[in-house]
Amino acid sequence: MKTRKFLVLLLVCILSITPIIGCTKDKVDTSENNTTVDVGKENDQEEPKEEGELLISAAASLTDVLNELSEVYKTIEPETTLNFTFGSSGALQAQIEEGAPVDIFMSAAQKQMKALDEGGHILDGTIKTLLINKVVLITPKDGEVEMKSFEDLTKDEIKKIAIGDPANVPVGQYSEEIFNNLNIMDKVNSKFVLGSDVRTVLTWVESGEVDCGIVYATDAFTSDNVNIVTEAPEGSHKEVSYPVAVVKDSKNPDRAKAFLDFLSTDKATELFEKYGFSMK
């Protein structure tokens, strides 16, 4: 009898310290090195990101830097394809107002961005001034006319001055400001040859079709076929700043915001500075 009671007591003790089968915790030892795994649970795996594209309307002066920047972005966000439309900021503004499918607008002046924002075309809270540029006077590399200043544009030997069309092209608007502030507008306006964007002006100067032209410093830096005569005098025009924003009708606002965040990273800053821009 005592032996039987002892065995019952022993069994109760064993059961009190041993987990009952079917009531064990989810983690069990599966190997000699005591590795534990979750039983009955699938390993968590991050879902692959969906592929998509961003349609970006950008000022022509951003052509070179954005084309190189897109290659860098592919290594960071391979699921996102960047498609650019380059042109004058005014023309791009008009396209957005007319309903063109655009995710991001990158302007070479505040005027066009402000107009879009006031017209309800920009996603609230996404406007950011990103870059600063300069305005310069350039001549063909082998040009025969000697120039040292903007005032030299009044010389009789200067027959053709290429500028961006002030109606649509920010660099043309800055050019007009310079001429007015230097009080030379009435002496030079008959010499104007108007380009549809800043790259058109650069091309005309490179080819020698005009005696000189006015472009951004960053455009002049891309060419081996022009001479930079001088920068516009300090205070002769508004600051050349580049605002960027997400367009309100964007089909990919989150993806667009992610790209705007990237534009302020060290990698993007390095590229912008390589092409002569300054960060705001």
**In this structure, what CATH number is given to the domain that contains residue 203?**
3.40.190.10
Q: Are residues 128 and 161 in the same domain?
A: no
Question: Residue 204 belongs to what domain range?
Answer: 135-231
Q: Are residues 114 and 148 in the same domain?
A: no
- Residue 68 placed within a domain: yes
Cα separation, 153 vs 120, in Å, equals: 41
Would the annotation count 107 as a binding residue? no
- Residue 164 placed within a domain: yes
Q: Are residues 153 and 165 in the same domain?
A: yes
Q: Give mean pLDDT, residues 149-173.
A: 96
- Residue 83 placed within a domain: yes
- Residue 41 placed within a domain: no
Q: Are residues 67 and 102 in the same domain?
A: yes
Per-residue pLDDT at 47: 55
Please state the pTM of the whole predicted model.
0.79
Q: Are residues 255 and 274 in the same domain?
A: yes
pLDDT digits 0-9 by tens, 73-123: 999 999 999 999 999 999 999 999 999 999 999 999 999 999 999 999 999
Estimate the crossing angle of helix 266-274 against helix 63-76, to 10 degrees. 160
- Residue 275 placed within a domain: yes
Q: Are residues 153 and 204 in the same domain?
A: yes
Q: Is pLDDT above 60 for 27?
A: no
- Residue 168 placed within a domain: yes
Per-residue pLDDT at 50: 85
Per-residue pLDDT at 209: 96
Per-residue pLDDT at 212: 98
pLDDT digits 0-9 by tens, 179-200: 999 999 999 999 999 999 999 9
Q: Are residues 61 and 87 in the same domain?
A: yes
Would the annotation count 275 as a binding residue? no
Model confidence at 144, in pLDDT bands (50, 70, 90)? confident
Q: Are residues 115 and 175 in the same domain?
A: no
Q: Are residues 195 and 224 in the same domain?
A: yes
pLDDT digits 0-9 by tens, 47-84: 557 889 999 999 999 999 999 999 999 999 999 999 99
Please state the domain count of the chain: 2
Q: Are residues 256 and 125 in the same domain?
A: yes
Closest to 150 in 3D by CA, of 36, 245, 235, 263: 235
Contacts of 192 (CB under 8 A, 6+ apart): 161, 162, 163
Per-residue pLDDT at 59: 97
Q: Give mean pLDDT, residues 26-36.
A: 45
